[in-house]
């Protein structure tokens, strides 16, 4: 993956649209600085921005990764090339084992006094001293087998926190441990391997590779995890059956519904049996029926397969499927709520009440926190 080429391509597409860097930044809800960094090849867009960026620029994901327009007749050949590139870059290609010492700790995830400050934010973005404290001294634990939601308004720091846990971004302060391993101790070149072995991602609907069938998308996760060829098919078929997508395995992502795509992404995340599944607004692009189906799937995976799931959402309905909710505001965790034996409906009402309380009494909330 050639970042400089991709950057120049983004810049060219933006200019074709007649937009300034600021105008593109505004459409994506990010800083001008971020656009400038991409265009000069100093950084790549966040995963969650790939699809919105492509839609705005009128290009495909393959074209973005290739850093050029792809002619119709070259599509297949180019798509495979790009795919290999993405796989080796994003998922890594070294075989190094990450050592996890001792016995398995009861908490899959431990977040301890974690903060993240973004520097050099230009004026006009609500930043003080040119910087934004996106995550402010956050601590919590997630026990094995639980389904935890993080709620908060847009801009409260949810995605940033998830990116820190996903090893996509680094905290300014504090420690994050996944299965007992402090992720700050993982060398850069082993991070991809760590993600591959320990984490499952379900980010919005755009995380399937369009040139692969649903089956291939799920199988790919196993291939890169060096699962033997003979075991791949039964594993994919078994998870597809659990998630009700057996009938669409041979279809391409564009041939299936948004809900089916999400369940495919879910299958891909779960099939490798990760320590924790991280989901960022997974129902954001779904209608309410498909959203409920996906949430039901998460709840089932957690209940019956002891999958550990951390889901970011601003939707109360989605949150009501969780066992526990952490409420974020201005980068801080202001409160937490456990579902206990409550029904979804009762938990829904509790969540609404808690949000009202946080919004109404945020000035005294710090003393009242009971996480």
Q: Give contact residues for Mg ion (rule: CB under 5 A).
A: 159
Q: Does 31 bind ligand ADP (CB under 6 A)?
A: yes
How far apart, in whole angstroms, are the C-alpha atoms of residue 356 and residue 362? 10
Sheet with 332-338, strands from edge to edge, namely 199-202, 276-280, 309-313, 147-151, 324-329, 332-338
- In the complex, minimum distance from the CB of residue 193 to Mg ion, in angstroms, rounded to a whole number: 26
Helix residue ranges, H only, the chain? 3-16, 21-28, 32-39, 50-57, 61-66, 75-90, 158-165, 188-198, 214-223, 229-242, 258-271, 288-305, 316-319, 344-360, 365-368
Instruction: Out of 21, 107, 156, 217, name the contact with ligand ADP by CB under 6 A.
Output: 156
# residues contacting ligand ADP (CB under 6 A):
14
Nearer to Mg ion, 159 or 207 (CB): 159
Q: Which residues of 173-208 are buried (b: 16+ CB within 10 A; e: fewer)?
A: ebebbbbbbebeebeeebbbbbbbbbbbbbbbbbbb
Give me 60's structure tokens: 């495909």
CA dihedral of 304, 310, 311, 316, whole degrees rounded to 10: 80
Instruction: Out of 7, 67, 152, 253, name the contact with ligand ADP by CB under 6 A.
Output: 152
Taking CB within 5 to 8 Å according to partner kind, which of ligand ADP, Mg ion, none is near residue 34? Answer: ligand ADP
Q: Does 157 bind ligand ADP (CB under 6 A)?
A: yes
- In the complex, minimum distance from the CB of residue 298 to ligand ADP, in angstroms, rounded to a whole number: 19
Taking CB within 5 to 8 Å according to partner kind, which of ligand ADP, Mg ion, none is near residue 152? Answer: ligand ADP
Q: Does 284 bind ligand ADP (CB under 6 A)?
A: no
Q: Does 244 bind ligand ADP (CB under 6 A)?
A: no
Instruction: Compute the chain's Rg from CA coordinates.
Output: 21
Nearer to Mg ion, 159 or 308 (CB): 159
Instruction: Out of 25, 70, 109, 121, name the contact with ligand ADP by CB under 6 A.
Output: 121
Beta-bridge partner residues of 175: 112
Nearer to ligand ADP, 275 or 332 (CB): 332
- In the complex, minimum distance from the CB of residue 131 to ligand ADP, in angstroms, rounded to a whole number: 8
Burial class of 170 by CB neighbour count within 10 A (0 to 12, 13 to 18, 19+): exposed
Instruction: Out of 64, 114, 132, 199, name the contact with ligand ADP by CB under 6 A.
Output: 132
Nearer to Mg ion, 159 or 262 (CB): 159
Neighbours of 317 (CB within 10 A): 15
Burial class of 308 by CB neighbour count within 10 A (0 to 12, 13 to 18, 19+): buried
Nearer to ligand ADP, 159 or 179 (CB): 159
How far apart, in whole angstroms, are the C-alpha atoms of residue 289 and residue 280? 19
Taking CB within 5 to 8 Å according to partner kind, which of ligand ADP, Mg ion, none is near residue 132? Answer: ligand ADP
Give me 206's structure tokens: 């755009």
Nearer to Mg ion, 47 or 79 (CB): 47
How far apart, in whole angstroms, are the C-alpha atoms of residue 195 and residue 92? 9
Nearer to ligand ADP, 130 or 343 (CB): 130
Instruction: Out of 118, 140, 201, 203, name the contact with ligand ADP by CB under 6 A.
Output: 118
Beta-bridge partner residues of 115: 173
Nearer to ligand ADP, 143 or 155 (CB): 155
Stretch that binds ligand ADP, among 148-156, 175-183, 235-243, 254-262 (CB under 6 A): 148-156
- In the complex, minimum distance from the CB of residue 72 to ligand ADP, in angstroms, rounded to a whole number: 35
Give me 256's structure tokens: 């299936």
Q: Does 134 bind ligand ADP (CB under 6 A)?
A: yes
Please report, as ranges, the residues that interact with ligand ADP according to CB under 6 A: 31, 34, 118, 121, 132, 134, 152, 154-160
């Amino acid at each position: 993956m050639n970042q400089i080429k991709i950057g120049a391509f983004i810049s060219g597409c933006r200019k074709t649209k007649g937009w300034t860097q600021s105008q593109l930044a505004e459409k994506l809800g990010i800083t001008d600085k971020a656009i400038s960094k991409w265009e000069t090849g100093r950084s790549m867009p966040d995963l969650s921005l790939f699809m919105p960026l492509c839609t705005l620029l009128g290009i495909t994901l393959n074209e973005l990764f290739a850093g050029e327009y792809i002619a119709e007749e070259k599509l297949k050949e180019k798509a495979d090339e790009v795919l290999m590139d993405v796989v080796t870059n994003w998922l890594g290609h070294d075989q190094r084992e990450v050592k996890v010492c001792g016995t398995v700790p009861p908490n899959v995830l431990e977040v301890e006094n974690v903060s993240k400050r973004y520097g050099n934010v230009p004026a006009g973005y609500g930043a003080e001293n040119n910087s934004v404290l996106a995550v402010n001294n956050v601590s919590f634990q997630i026990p094995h087998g639980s389904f935890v939601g993080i709620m908060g308004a847009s801009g409260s720091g949810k995605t940033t926190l998830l990116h820190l846990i996903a090893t996509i971004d680094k905290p300014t302060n504090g420690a994050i441990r996944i299965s007992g391993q402090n992720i700050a101790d993982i060398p850069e070149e082993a991070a991809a391997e760590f993600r591959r072995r320990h984490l499952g991602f379900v980010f919005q609907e755009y995380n399937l590779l369009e040139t692969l069938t649903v089956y291939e998308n799920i199988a790919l996760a196993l291939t890169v995890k060096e699962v033997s060829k003979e075991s791949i098919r039964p594993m994919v078929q078994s998870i597809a059956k659990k998630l009700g997508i057996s009938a669409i395995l041979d279809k391409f992502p564009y041939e299936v519904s948004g809900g089916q795509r999400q369940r495919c992404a879910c299958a891909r995340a779960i099939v490798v049996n990760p320590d924790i599944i991280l989901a960022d607004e997974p129902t954001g692009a779904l209608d309410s029926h498909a959203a409920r189906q996906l949430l039901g799937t998460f709840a089932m995976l957690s209940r019956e397969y002891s999958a550990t799931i951390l889901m970011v959402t601003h939707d109360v309905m989605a949150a009501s499927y969780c066992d526990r909710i952490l409420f974020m505001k201005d980068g801080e965790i202001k409160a937490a709520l456990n579902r206990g034996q409550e029904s979804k409906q009762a938990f829904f009402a509790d969540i609404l009440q808690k949000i009202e309380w946080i919004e109404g009494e945020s000035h005294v909330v710090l003393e009242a926190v009971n996480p």
